[in-house]
């Protein structure tokens, strides 16, 4: 195992166990690289191999079908684990395990290293990327079939490699600006109780000529004050005797956020994307209203002799098309999904936006900062939706958890309640008066309650009472 030199300087603060763990990461880059390459191989096996196998028969099980294993590993374990890991340990996934991050960085080392164009730095890409991939994934049924997995995730990986070759210079330009989930991860990581912290006084006490640290997502480590963009790769741990992995109260970064710490597109991603659009994507297949609206529309079209929207002649990479298992989407289905997801985003996100803006006005604070208090609810939204896939797959294997409705309700209550605790702490810290605080929290509580109630209705969680 190789070790790499660090610019360890006389230490101003004792190295805790956590700090020593960060230092270990900085010294053992080769061990982390080996882990990353192992995950790259696993990723390619799970993404690519099933796309070239026949579709599994209806009675296929994980014990006898690799595609089922890959689906469960990818959607049942991999993605829920990634979301949960963001909440627990920040973006360690990005810095230590993500195959796309490893690839874009690796191919960029001998790459062209062109200047990053201005258009690529546009802060709205994470929002566009998240909405676009979520919608496209629903249109081509990415959770059900291996071909769409290859198109979406493989396409994203190819794009990450291309960006790495052209602009990378060994840095993670793709991850910083264009990855479709970087905005989501940046929001979730603010809740994490672990982060790399810079001791400014210790930093400034060291000579200026010490070489800069190699930060893959191009951060100015000396001013690092947020876990949002830090990939927790550990490379800067111990640098100038000033950087250390440390613990903090979960959500404390949100409580201490100031105007300017969160951008407009980031707040819109939170409200319209993670709370609204994602909810629509997870729930449309279970929504009776979707089927009724579609039937009404089909009848309306037929009565007027308009038949082309009912055709199911789109290729599988445009709309789901698997006639061998009687699963084909018509153009009307596709349009219905677009409208349903957009409508849910506008309804849930729009209400949350209105409520947050009104709360911020009442409390005379920044609405984007206040909106961060809804991150726990957005996290629960994503986790519940992804874990539904896990549970559906387990159910088809005959594994059923009887305690599940209570656990889902508890998760929603915890997310809603912790969001309100964050809001209370944020407003008290800002010195907002009692009456204004109560009003602002009531508005935020309503914003968080809408997605929670939609989950309760969809999952029929009231059955447990």
CB atoms within 10 A of CB 207: 7
* Residue whose C-alpha is closest to residue 122's, from 181, 178, 186: 178
In angstroms, what is the minimal distance from the CB of 235 to ligand SF4? 4
Contact of 90 with 227, CB cutoff 8 Å = yes
Helix (H) or strand (E) holding 39: helix 29-48
Which of 3-11, 115-123, 228-236, 317-325 is the region at the interface with ligand SF4 (rule: CB under 6 A)? 228-236
Which of 233-241, 291-299, 336-344, 376-384 is the region at the interface with ligand SF4 (rule: CB under 6 A)? 233-241
Name which of 225 and 342 has its Cβ closer to ligand SF4.
225
Name which of 176 and 353 has its Cβ closer to ligand SF4.
176
Please give the Cα distance from 361 to 460 (Å, whole number). Answer: 36
In angstroms, what is the minimal distance from the CB of 142 to ligand SF4? 29
Name which of 176 and 321 has its Cβ closer to ligand SF4.
176
Out of 103, 221, 254, 432, name the contact with ligand SF4 by CB under 6 A.
221
* Angular region, 328: left φ>0, alpha ψ -120 to 50, beta rest: beta
Contact status: 26 vs ligand SF4 (CB under 6 A): no
Kindly tell me the burial class for residue 334, based on how many C-beta atoms sit within 10 Å of its own C-beta (0-12, 13-18, 19 or more): buried
Please give the Cα distance from 267 to 319 (Å, whole number). Answer: 30
Helix (H) or strand (E) holding 246: strand 243-247
**What spatial distance separates the first Cα and last Cα of the chain, rounded to whole Å?**
56
Out of 235, 240, 321, 353, name the contact with ligand SF4 by CB under 6 A.
235
Out of 179, 224, 373, 389, name the contact with ligand SF4 by CB under 6 A.
224
Write out the binding residues for ligand SF4, residues 168-207 only, by CB under 6 A.
196
Which of 213-221, 320-328, 370-378, 442-450 is the region at the interface with ligand SF4 (rule: CB under 6 A)? 213-221
In angstroms, what is the minimal distance from the CB of 82 to ligand SF4? 17
Please give the Cα distance from 44 to 65 (Å, whole number). Answer: 17
166 contact partners, CB below 8 Å, separation of at least 6: 111, 112, 114
CB atoms within 10 A of CB 295: 10
Contact status: 95 vs ligand SF4 (CB under 6 A): yes
Out of 46, 70, 173, 233, name the contact with ligand SF4 by CB under 6 A.
233
Contact status: 89 vs ligand SF4 (CB under 6 A): no
Out of 116, 213, 355, 447, name the contact with ligand SF4 by CB under 6 A.
213
In angstroms, what is the minimal distance from the CB of 101 to ligand SF4? 10
Which residues contact ligand SF4 by CB under 6 A? Answer: 95, 196, 213, 215-217, 219, 221, 224, 230-236
């Amino acid at each position: 195992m190789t070790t790499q030199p660090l610019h360890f300087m006389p230490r101003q603060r004792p190295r805790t166990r956590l700090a020593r763990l960060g230092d270990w990461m900085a010294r053992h880059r080769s061990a982390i690289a080996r882990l990353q390459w192992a995950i790259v191989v696993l990723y390619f096996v799970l993404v690519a191999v099933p796309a070239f196998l026949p579709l599994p028969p209806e009675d296929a099980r994980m014990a006898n079908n690799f595609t089922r294993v890959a689906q469960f590993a990818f959607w049942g374990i991999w993605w829920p684990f990634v979301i949960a890991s963001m909440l627990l340990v920040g973006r360690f996934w990005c810095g230590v395990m993500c195959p796309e991050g490893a690839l874009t960085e690796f191919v960029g080392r001998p790459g062209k290293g062109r200047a990053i164009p201005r258009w690529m730095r546009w802060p709205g890409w994470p929002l566009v990327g998240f909405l676009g991939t979520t919608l496209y994934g629903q249109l081509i049924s990415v959770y059900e079939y291996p071909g769409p997995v290859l198109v979406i995730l493989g396409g994203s990986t190819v794009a990450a490699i291309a960006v790495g070759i052209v602009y990378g210079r060994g840095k993670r330009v793709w991850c910083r600006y264009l990855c479709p989930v970087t905005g989501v991860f940046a929001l979730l990581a603010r809740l994490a109780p672990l982060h790399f912290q810079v001791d400014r006084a210790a930093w400034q006490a060291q000579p200026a000529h010490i070489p800069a640290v190699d930060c893959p997502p191009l951060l100015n480590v000396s001013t690092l004050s947020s876990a949002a963009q830090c990939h927790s790769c550990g490379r800067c741990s111990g640098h100038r005797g000033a950087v250390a992995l440390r613990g903090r109260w979960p959500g404390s970064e949100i409580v201490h956020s100031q105007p300017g710490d969160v951008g407009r597109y980031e707040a819109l991603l939170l409200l319209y994307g993670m709370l609204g659009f994602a909810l629509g994507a997870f729930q449309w297949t279970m929504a009776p209203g979707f089927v009724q609206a579609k039937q009404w529309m089909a009848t309306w079209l037929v009565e007027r002799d308009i038949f082309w929207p009912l055709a199911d002649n789109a290729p599988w990479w445009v709309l789901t098309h698997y006639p061998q298992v009687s699963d084909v989407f018509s153009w009307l289905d596709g349009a219905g999904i677009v409208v349903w997801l957009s409508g849910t985003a506008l309804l849930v996100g729009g209400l949350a936006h209105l409520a947050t803006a009104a709360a911020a006005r009442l409390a005379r604070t920044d609405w984007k900062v206040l909106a961060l208090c809804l991150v726990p609810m957005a996290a629960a939204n994503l986790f519940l939706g992804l874990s539904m896939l896990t549970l559906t797959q387990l159910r088809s294997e005959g594994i059923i958890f009887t305690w599940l409705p209570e656990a889902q309700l508890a998760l929603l209550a915890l997310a809603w309640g912790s969001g309100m605790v964050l809001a209370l702490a944020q407003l008290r810290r800002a010195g907002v008066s009692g009456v204004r605080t109560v009003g602002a929290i009531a508005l935020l509580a309503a914003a968080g309650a809408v997605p929670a109630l939609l989950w309760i209705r969809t999952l029929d969680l009231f059955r447990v009472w």
